[in-house]
Amino acid sequence: MLWCYIFCFISVLSSSSPLSLNKDDLVISEDSFRGPSHYVKRELSPCEDCACGERNEEPRVVGGMESDVNAFPWLGRLIYEKSFGCAASLINDKFVISAAHCMKGFMWFMFRVKFGEHDRCDKTKFAETRYVVKVIAHSFTLTDLSNDIALLMLNKRVEYTHAIRPVCLPKNDDTLYTGTTALVAGWGAMNETGQWSCTVREAELPVLSNEACRNTNYNASKIKDVMMCAGFPETAHKDACTGDSGGPLIAENEEHMYDLIGIVSWGFGCARKGYPGVYTRVTKFLDWIRDNTQEGCYCKVGAENDTESTTEPVPEAVEYVQKCNCPCFKNVVARNILLLMLVGCGERNEASRIVGGVETAVNEFPWVARLSLHNKFYCGGSLINDRFVLTAAHCVTSFMWFMIKVTLGEHDRCNTTHPPVIRYVIKMVAHNFSFSNFKDDVAVLRLHRPVIITDTVKPVCLPKNDDATYAGVNAIAAGWGTVGEGKNHSCYLQEVELPILSNEACKNANYTPTMIGDGMLCAGDPKTGMKDTCQGDSGGPLSAERNDKRHEQLGVVSWGIGCGRPGYPGVYTRVTKYLDWIRKFANTGCFCAA
């Protein structure tokens, strides 16, 4: 880029050839134009009860891959005459927001907006179409590219459906979003010289501070306060590109809704090293946006509305929602609420099982998670509520945690015909861990969206009593780690039953006593060895069955010398020592009734 739209605008306006913009090129033929005579005026109506920023979140692939169908129901496609050029976001039932450079020099009344699309090349499916009757552009100039924002008023109100809903506007105009993992979506080109995508694609990008952006290869004076940069300057493996202009950069808020934090504006090339994408910073224009869109009806932020639910709410579920302050319940279907209420945490799916270092029954431990980096499995974890996974700090310290993929509901990890539940990590909090002594080896991972509770994906319970030592209790460790030193990782989830030792007994084994801290727990038979966790099991759970038949997690697989060696039992992070810390940093998820 500069996505060269300056030159494209000039050439378009002086030519009768199809429209051509950069990061906004207009190349795809559309159906015939119906013209302004089809505009329909409609009296203002009361705002309907609706909720903004709700993604249609089914299993999806992030990072420059195709999005799920209608995953971004606010995403609109701008058509000028017969050609697609830019994207836009629905912010209320009457207005969309886009980039001002998408409007600059064009006859605004020849624009129309299409909603509810996923595959724009599929002519068998008709999108909802609205015409533009008014454009309000900010004081944008092509010289410094500041204030690249415009509002488009639609000829008639948009009716909300599963496929069409508005995005939220940020509440706080002081938020900088530095370090936030945001999402950009559009039909733009997949690389600088590539064709535009037929289907909506999305990419996860970290938001940079403006200071960091000015320290990239851009001229520092080009990055204004009204701009926001997002991307990976060093690796440049993800970015928006030609055709994505005007589209949304979104971030999830505390209510698990999505806020529009940026508008695709400009950049140099597409995914070039040293040149992250530059977006219009929406928080700088909140008052201007609201002042100029009062004719539309805004949804309530965080309103309890679930257009996807096919199950009528039952009185028990409604009562439970009213009692629970967990934010995840605001948009969960009644079926999932009842599962959380009635099933509870730590319930194993008990089929016939063989203990002692052998394969588990399928989905016997529905809380066990698998962590992958660059699509390679390397550690385990455990689901503790609908939004957080507990693992070992050494599994995430010094790693690019934002590239970690979490899979749930698996048994045979080598079987690609049964896709697991996939989540991505958007935040990692590790304790004060040090590789020098392996103390405080615990971390929590926040998932990019809540997990739906099913028979194969359920959270484990946390202990109730932080004073319990559990010495003498038989516990179970589970994971896909190696089945012996120097051997390969297991395809199938394995389990091993181990007796928990007192820390005194562990210190009397072959370990140096100072190595076993109070925040650690040992499990295994020091005399015989034979049964133990091994490489690849790190971060996984050590759980024990309570009197109510539910399982609570007592330990996190941490370290040991060898695997199953006599005199060296496995060492685990003692969960009871970190209960307050875990609940503090996982409190935005919903814990099941213990």
Catalytic hit among 67, 197, 538, 543 = 538
Dist CA 160 CA 187 (whole Å): 22
For residue 457, count other CB atoms closer than 10 A to its CB. Answer: 20
| Among 243, 247, 240, 210, residue whose Cα is nearest residue 98 | 247
CB 540, CB 381: distance < 8 Å? yes
Cα–Cα distance, 591 to 345 (Å, whole number): 8
Contact by Cβ (8 Å): 299, 331 = no
Q: Which residues of 271-296 are buried (b: 16+ CB within 10 A; e: fewer)?
A: bbeebbbbbbbbbbbeeebeebbeeb
Q: Looking at this protein, which amino acid is placed at residue 485? A: E
Closest CA to 568 of 533, 524, 535: 524
Residue with tokens 């896709």: 419
Strands 95-98 and 83-90: antiparallel
For residues 384 and 368, give the distance between their C-alpha atoms in angstroms, rounded to a whole number: 10
CA atoms within 13 A on the CB side of 402: 15
- CA 526 vs. chain centroid, Å, equals 43
Cβ neighbours around 419 below 10 Å, total: 11
Task: Write down the catalytic residue from 259, 441, 532, 537.
Answer: 441
Q: What is the DSSP letter of 339?
A: I
Angstrom distance (rounded) from CA 26 to CA 245: 11
| Phi, psi of 193, deg, nearest 5 | -105, 5
Q: Which residue type does 424 have?
A: Y
The helix (H) or strand (E) run that includes residue 476 is strand 474-479
The dihedral built from the CA positions of residue 493, 499, 503 and 506, taken in this order, carries a sign that is negative
- Smallest CA-to-CA distance from 206 within 253, 263, 251 is with 251
Please say if 244 is a catalytic residue: no
Q: How far apart are CA 529 and CA 532, in angstroms?
A: 7
Distance from C-alpha of 586 to C-alpha of 521, rounded to nearest angstrom: 22
From first CA to last CA, the distance across the chain in angstroms is 54
Q: Distance (Å, rounded) from C-alpha 366 to C-alpha 347? A: 8
For 176-233, the three-class secondary structure string (H helix, E strand, C coil) is: CCCCCEEEEEECCECCCCCCECCECEEEEEEEECHHHHHCCCCCHHHCCCCEEEECCC
| Among the listed residues 562, 566, 557, the one whose alpha carbon sits nearest the alpha carbon of residue 536 | 557
Tell me which of 394, 431, 448, 489 is the catalytic residue. 394
What DSSP assignment string belongs to 384-431? -SSSEEEE-GGGTTTS-GGGEEEEES-SBTT-TTS--EEEEEEEEEE-
DSSP 1: -
8 A C-beta contact, residue 147 and residue 138:
yes
Q: Is 538 a catalytic residue?
A: yes
The angle formed by the CA atoms of residues 434, 459 and 447, to the nearest 5 degrees, is 60
Catalytic residue check, 441: yes
* Strand, helix or coil for residue 107: coil
Catalytic residue numbers, as ranges:
394, 441, 538
